[in-house]
Amino acid sequence: DTGVSQNPRHKITKRGQNVTFRCDPISEHNRLYWYRQTLGQGPEFLTYFQNEAQLEKSRLLSDRFSAERPKGSFSTLEIQRTEQGDSAMYLCASSLDGAHGTRGYGYTFGSGTRLTVV
């Protein structure tokens, strides 16, 4: 078990370009979450998958954002036509049983992908 892996760690892109991030959760975890953290703020929920089904999306997730989790394994988060306001740390978390998991402590976070839009 190597934890939750996110790639790339850093991404610098020009405004208007598309970017894609990848998250590899802990293998047996069925729940996967994406959060966005801007400077000086706490992480904010973006979207949630249970296995391959995307079950909840935040209103923060505009039409330019899309997330997938094919086959219930890794997940990708794509941002189209990036804007400077998209600059943030994008965090992925996985979980087996959610908040009240009896095996482990709920959620395991990755180290995040820091996006800078110039």
| Interacting residue ranges for another protein, rule: CB under 8 A | 31, 33, 35, 40-45, 48, 55-56, 89, 91, 93, 95, 98-100, 105-112, 114
The least distance separating another protein from the CB of residue 83, rounded to whole angstroms, comes to 22
Phi/psi at 98 (5° precision): 75, -155
> Is the Cβ of residue 21 or residue 35 nearer to another protein in the bound state?
35
From 2, 3, 5, 27, select the one nearest 91 (Cα to Cα).
5
Range list of H helices, 27-93? none
The least distance separating another protein from the CB of residue 110, rounded to whole angstroms, comes to 7
